[in-house]
Amino acid sequence: LAGVACISSLLLLKLSLESWQEGSIYQRIGLGGISYGQITTSIFLKVAVSDFLTLFSARAGENWFWTSSPAPILLAAGAMALTTSTILACVWPMSRPDGIPTLGLERKQPYALPAFIWVYCILWWFIQDAAKVYTYRFLIAFNVFQYNDSGMIPDHFPTPFDNNGISSKSISNVPNITPGRKIEILDNSPLAKKGK
């Protein structure tokens, strides 16, 4: 996930630095050239957006990000973080924090730059998620690094409970416990009561 995010950030930086060149992507889509301060802020916005989108991808494990609904608190945190980052990137005054020129994206043309960055991040989010899903499939298909033997592979049994009545998914991340493996449960433990 991090590799795809890094590549997409470096590509956006390259596209932004070349924005004044004739025939550049920015010139062809009508954005035109952007200032160094806008490039700095563009990278800030790109990293802020794509890193939060990476969280939504990573939490789904080996599945596509849309197959698992995030908890409401994560959605609220995401909405707040992404909204705040976008507003800051748009309205930041001309300044030089640490001597680096910075300028809000809506303080100077092209005014469509924040929307372009959002679309760019969403497109790369799908690429990133596909890379994650196919990496998992590769690890499982070829048992790379003995991945299938690690006990960390998600349970793919048809029923969510083993014969003790315990959800195998609830124990899949506990060290030294493989889903479906018989474990000894003490009679007075909450798990023993749950299974009865």
21 vs 173, residue with greater confidence: 21
Tell me the pLDDT tens digit for each residue of 152-187.
555 543 334 444 444 444 444 444 544 544 444 444
Q: Give φ, ψ of 145 to 5 degrees.
A: 55, 30
Query: What pLDDT does residue 169 have?
Result: 46
Tell me, what's the pLDDT at 183? 45
Overall pTM surpassing 0.85 (yes/no): no
For residue 100, what are its two tokens?
A: 């680096």
Higher pLDDT, 24 or 180: 24
Q: In 3-state terms, what secondary structure has residue 100?
A: coil
Per-residue pLDDT band for 90 (boundaries 50, 70, 90) equals very high
The percent helix, strand, coil of the chain (3-state, each to 5) is 55, 0, 40
Residue 48 · residue 81 · CB < 8 Å: yes
- What are the tokens at 121? 């991040």
**Cβ contact 43:12 at 8 Å:** yes
Assign 55 to helix, strand or coil: helix
Residue 110: predicted pLDDT: 94
DSSP state for residue 137 in the 8-state scheme: H
